[in-house]
Chain A
Amino acid sequence: MTRFNKILAYIALICLSIPPLLPLVWMISTSLKTNEQIYMKGEGAATKGFSFASLIPSPVAWNNYPDSLETIPFMVYLKNTVFLCLCIVIASVISSAIVAYGFARINFKGSKIWFGVMLATMALPGQVTMIPNFALFRALGWYGTYLPLIVPAFCATPFYVFLLSQFFKTLPDEMAESAKVDGANEWVIFCRLIIPLSKPALATCALFAFLGTWNDFLGPLLYLSDSSKYTLAYGLQQFVNNPYVNWMQLMAASTLFTLPIILLFFFAQKTFIQGISTTGGK
């Protein structure tokens, strides 16, 4: 590329970076403003145009953060969400790894068919199974508890099974073979050989499971009834739809809700990208 083209490319990239960033900047900016600042009291509010200077709050209203933690029971929701994330991450990663090992490294009758069935279920709209599942969990007395959200995670997640089995297939056979000669069974090989070698792939699955649970709205909406059990995604929604919503506090809460995900992304960028690239299916 010539120098001129390079400069042109940078200008294009910088200009295009504004739309993805601006809403997030606006969120943080609002979370640090006072009521007077966001409604621009006394400045002919409605006709006021946008300016980059208006993004900078002055004075900075830090109190929106502690206030928002009080208005919505943020800490309670956070505790619930983290608890749920931990349970689901552990349950789904372990069970998916076990199932993936079966599909990838054991040559049993019908394995191809079942694997195909599993992939097909990934395209099945959740709505089709939603009602009977709800009736089942309700009959078990699990409505209003976390069990309907956690228990299915023990039954492996097709997408993670797919991801892990692709990874397990790439691991060399020799070590497993010699371990078998020494009398090790499949379970020992799985625990002692395969799992230690598969940390990156397991991390990818854990990451996806965490994000999925952190983000999940429909699950808590269907199964949680008591506000002391709400997760952040669900609890925040109740707050958004409050007609007297305080936008500064809501944006502060949204920032706090989004921040862990963004931090996680920065720390685990490689794991993230690898996992998503594998999604491309080939």
Chain B
Amino acid sequence: MSPKARENLTGYLFISPWLIGFLVFTLWPFLRSFYLSFCNYNIVQPPKFIGLANYQMMLFNDELFYKSLWVTLRYALVAVPLTLFVGVALALLLNLNVKGIAVFRTIFYLPSIVPTVAMTSIFMWILNPQVGMVNRILALAGVTGPAWLSDPVWTPWTLIFMAVWAAGGSMVIYLAGLKDIPQYLYEAATLDGAGAFRKMRMITLPMLSPVIFFNLVMSVIGTFQYFTQAFVISNGSGGPEDSTLFYALYMFKRCWKYMDMGYGSAMAWVLFIIVMISTGLIFRTQKRWVHYGR
């Protein structure tokens, strides 16, 4: 064997754990679910080809499909920008050079490492309408707090509330981004007489934009798969009145409650297409606001 062939073989041997996993647990299921989306399939019996029926049903005959899409989209439109803003704002604040700042960084980061199920149960308790902490704080201001968990108007806000509470998680990434901004840019701006606000707008934010972009893309992809919090808060039902019936939760219900795996596969593929289109759109805005300096 020639040295080059030997090297190729060694390389493939090293990556073989991933390669095998990719073929068996990713590529094959990926193609298989595409096929299943055109089938009637309940996992016990072999799939039966039914053409476009699942897609037809989904697009023209399933109100809950649109409802779940709307629940997810509505959440994404509020939670993604809000958590992004909080993450960046916290990073800017915690980039201050004062004594003991590390302690504060830890405090703001802490919520994001609380396990999701624990976090959700904590929120279900502090949002208890009668004796929960939040409504008792509101009572101080003379406001009667809403029924956070049983009123469909308020349940989405409960989830957004939780997302913002844990938004410190991305702060660390922004802080690392802020550390990478060369100091001379600020020095030059000071010489040119730029104030703090102008420096932020002309230097900090543009220099941070690649990191913001990365986080935006990841959080959009993540939000479309939002599941655990909605499952725990509604005991898997998506209630009250389907107000927490997120797309992934509805798909889970179709698959594992009604054993409608063909329909579930069709939903998965629609999800995949939506994720591709939305990340594609975000990538297209990139030129306008993301600066890959140098």
Contacts and interface: CB of A to CB of B under 8 A. Distances in A.
A122 to B, nearest CB: 9
A279 B130 CA distance: 41
A280 B268 CA distance: 28
A20 B122 CA distance: 12
Nearest to A257: B118
Q: Is the interface of B mostly helix, strand, loop or mixed?
A: helix
Q: Give the interface centre of B115, B173, B228, B236 by most chain A CB atoms within 10 Å.
A: B115
Interface of B: 7-8, 10-15, 17-22, 24-26, 28-30, 32-33, 36, 43, 93, 96-98, 101, 104, 106-111, 113-118, 120-126, 128, 130-131, 133, 136-137, 139-140, 165, 168-169, 172-177, 180, 210-211, 214-215, 217, 221, 224-225, 227-228, 231-232, 235-236, 248, 251, 255-256, 261, 264-265, 267-269, 271-272, 275, 279
Given A121-B26, A132-B29, A98 B275 contact: no
A107 B140 contact: no
B269 A128 contact: yes
Nearest to A109: B8
Contacts of B214: 280-281
A218 B230 CA distance: 12
Nearest to B274: A125
Contacts of A146: none
A18 B148 CA distance: 21
Contacts, number: 266
A125 B225 contact: yes
Contacts of B121: 236, 240, 250-251, 254
B122 to A, nearest CB: 5
Q: Is the interface of A mostly helix, strand, loop or mixed?
A: helix
A240 B120 contact: yes
B118 A258 contact: yes
23 contacts: A10-B98, A19-B165, A26-B126, A40-B131, A102-B15, A107-B11, A108-B8, A117-B22, A121-B26, A125-B225, A126-B225, A127-B268, A130-B29, A131-B255, A136-B24, A152-B21, A155-B20, A236-B121, A240-B120, A277-B173, A280-B174, A280-B177, A280-B211
B115 A257 contact: yes
A230 B117 CA distance: 14
Contacts of B115: 214-215, 233, 257-258, 261
Q: Give the interface centre of A6, A99, A269 by most chain B CB atoms within 10 Å.
A: A99
A125 B224 contact: yes
